[in-house]
Chain A
Amino acid sequence: EPEVTQTPSHQVTQMGQEVILRCVPISNHLYFYWYRQILGQKVEFLVSFYNNEISEKSEIFDDQFSVERPDGSNFTLKIRSTKLEDSAMYFCASSPSVIYGYTFGSGTRLTVV
């Protein structure tokens, strides 16, 4: 069964550093998403991406965040200057259409120290 692949599974970074989280969505999917889950809390929507541009973003997704699809397979989330409160599990998801639902990756646990 096709999977969404996220790397790395765990990343530790120093406050103020830039971090890039990587995702390989399922190949024939058109819609891509990033979500965040702070430890013990609910999963929160960050951004959706379609046709090489952001289609929707939440209030969390401020100027520190950016997304990119640099080639035909990767989908990345960049945090420019990490803060302690950015520590969370970050999930990538992809979908061919909402009718078919979303497939989530296994997540990247980001720890900012």
Chain B
Amino acid sequence: AQKVTQAQTEISVVEKEDVTLDCVYETRDTTYYLFWYKQPPSGELVFLIRRNSFDEQNEISGRYSWNFQKSTSSFNFTITASQVVDSAVYFCALSEAYSGGGADGLTFGKGTHLIIQP
């Protein structure tokens, strides 16, 4: 069975600090997809990134970067020079793919509540 662990329940940093959110996953499949979603106080789920299991290249998007390491089954998310608007709950999620393009439902971690203090 698949599982996603976000061990950090809550992180609080001062604005402009860098912060890394950890995500460790478990799956038996060789083909899977990893995701990060942001949930601001308004409650919607905002897609941040998708990574497939065959692509271990790290990715940078502005102040956001992601470090995917299959050897440790981790997919960590770093925010550089954090801002108050980054305050939210961040979820890591996993989906196992099957033929035809469909997929199992997403398995979410419990989320990390990130608080950026001014």
Contact = CB atoms under 8 A, between A and B. Distances in A.
B41 interface: no
B33 to A, nearest CB: 6
A44 interface: yes
Contacts of A107: 43-45
Contact of B44 (A30, A50, A106): A106
A43 B44 contact: no
A45 B91 CA distance: 14
Majority secondary structure, B binding face: strand
A43 B103 contact: no
Given A101-B35, A104-B44, A35 B106 contact: yes
Contacts of B103: 31, 48, 95, 98
A89 interface: yes
Interface residues of A, number: 30
A28 interface: no
A105 B45 CA distance: 8
Given A44-B108, A45-B106, A104 B101 contact: no
Contact of A56 (B50, B91, B104, B108): B104
Nearest to A103: B47
Interface residues of B, number: 24
A43 B104 CA distance: 15
Interface string A37-68: 00001111111101000011010000000000
The CB with the most chain B CB atoms within 10 A, among A97, A102, A104, is that of A102
8 A-B pairs with least C-beta separation: A45-B105, A98-B103, A97-B101, A104-B45, A43-B108, A101-B50, A106-B44, A42-B110
Interface of B: 33, 35, 37, 43-45, 47, 50, 52, 91, 93, 95, 97, 101-111
29 contacts: A30-B102, A35-B106, A42-B91, A42-B110, A43-B91, A43-B93, A45-B104, A45-B105, A45-B106, A45-B108, A48-B102, A48-B103, A48-B105, A50-B102, A56-B104, A56-B105, A58-B105, A95-B103, A97-B101, A98-B33, A98-B101, A98-B103, A99-B33, A104-B37, A104-B44, A106-B43, A107-B43, A107-B44, A107-B45
